[in-house]
Structure 1
Amino acid sequence: MPTGVAIRDVRGQLFDAAERVLLRDGPSALTSRAVTTEAGCAKGVLHRHFTDFDAFLAELVLDRIARIDDQAAALHKSAGTGTIAHNITQALLDLFESVAVAIVSLVTSRDGLRAQLREVRPAGVPILTDAATAIASYLTAERELGRIIADADVDTLAPTLVGAAHMLFADRQGIPPGAGDVRKVVTAVIAGVEQKPLR
């Protein structure tokens, strides 16, 4: 791109380019040069907007985490409707069919990125922790509605569901699991806590 030509929404374009590189080539291929080449801009553009590449990656992760908030709100709103297994299955599919698995791999593979993220998020693995929080909130709402048992340990169930689903999706090169595979895991995890409807 010629010098002096304004780029609209530079951050958004760089984030989208990074996501494409990450999904296509994996975390090891994600470099500042790969991102700017993918975005079609000079390498200096990235460094004008971010202090270093790990700062850029941290902002990318935080931007993608913000998207989970919308998914979390939709999941919470679904409490009391449909089946619990369907609602959780759909939430996990929405999460893991996105860039989430690649983001988790990126975070675990880069010490500098983890250090940057710890400054603003001291606990847990980004994306996975956020998903577990969203599912725990949903399960709490279902417990309050009487659709799961009163003593259900939602703070254990939620990360169990997220961890099990993550294992299904973790192989980026393999065939991704279908809805039936995810539903089978969800059904097994929540089997002991669903309240049987009164006849």
Structure 2
Amino acid sequence: MPTGVALRDPRRQLFAAAERVLLRAGPNALTSRAVTDEAGCAKGVLHRHFADFDDFLAALVLDRVARLDGQATALRAAADTGRGTVVGNLADALTDLFESVAVAVVGLVVSRDGLRARLRRTRPTGVPLLTDAADMLAAYLTAERDRGRLGPDADIPTLAPTLVGAAHLLFADRESAPPAPAEVRKVIAAVVAPVLTPVARDDFPV
């Protein structure tokens, strides 16, 4: 007797199921059986689309990384048009990132040796997602510097990962509600205040 149900878009539905398990029970609960049970399909469905479970997890991580493209485009448009404030745009981007399943995905990468080894084949340095988020912010900060809202001496290679690390600490390992928007903005303002030009300071006093 066949088990489970047919999936219309197996990869996407398996990814969504894995994310639900991650958010509900954490990285240690993420097994192939947990994913297929959550998706309501037979275990063999996962193995028809992926070489093994680490291959599936690597694809899950890279799928989440790919979703940053939309955020990167929105941030660049904000810089190009002068929309919003530097602090506000950064706060919105980092909140969108870390209020999602991204914190759990980072925990997954850190906790599984096999997954890290699989990802190292194509990404030899950095922590996937965190490194990509830093690259996204660096591109945005560079555009703001070119526009004149950041000073010409702004150390963007240092600022971008500092912002990601600070935001990650705010959102990670919380059993309570996520940080308030004002708390996120306060931390970001403290990081970028030294490089904001007068016009940007007028937009957001720090």
Q: TM-score, normalised by structure 1?
A: 0.96
Matched, 1:85 2:87: yes
- Most deviating of 120-129 and 54-63: 120-129
Deviation of 1:60 (Å):
0.4
Identity across aligned pairs (percent)?
69
Q: Partner residue of 2:199?
A: 197
Which whole-Å CA distance do the structure 1 matches of 2:177 and 2:7 have between them? 37
**May I ask how many residue pairs the two structures share in their alignment?**
199
Q: Deviations over 1:6-30 (max 9, x none)?
A: 4211111100000000001000000
Residues 107-148 of structure 1 deviation map (CA, whole Å, 9 limit, x = unaligned): 000000001111121111011111100100000000001111
Aligned to 1:109: 111
Q: Secondary structure at the match of 2:121?
A: helix
Instruction: Provide the residue aligned with 2:51 in structure 1.
Output: 51
What residue is the counterpart of 1:36 in the other structure?
A: 36
CA–CA distance in structure 1, aligned partners of residues 157 and 122 of structure 2: 22
Residue 149 of structure 1: which of 148, 151, 155 is its match?
151
CA distance in structure 1 between the partners assigned to 2:179 and 2:196 by the alignment: 24
Q: Is the 8 A contact 2:5 2:42 kept in 1?
A: no
Greater CA deviation, 2-11 or 175-184?
2-11
Residue identity opposite 1:59 in structure 2: A
In structure 1, list runs of 5 or more residues that go unmatched.
none
Matches within 5 A, 1:151-166: 151-166=153-168
Please tell me whether residue 23 in structure 1 is matched to residue 23 in structure 2.
yes
Superposed displacement of residue 150, structure 1: 0.3
Which amino acid letter does the alignment assign opposite residue 10 of structure 2? V
Q: Secondary structure of 1:105's match?
A: helix
Deviation at 1:5, TM superposition (A): 6.2
Are residues 1:120 and 2:122 paired? yes
Give deviations 1:89-124, integer Å, cap 9, x for gaps: 000000001111000000000000001111121111
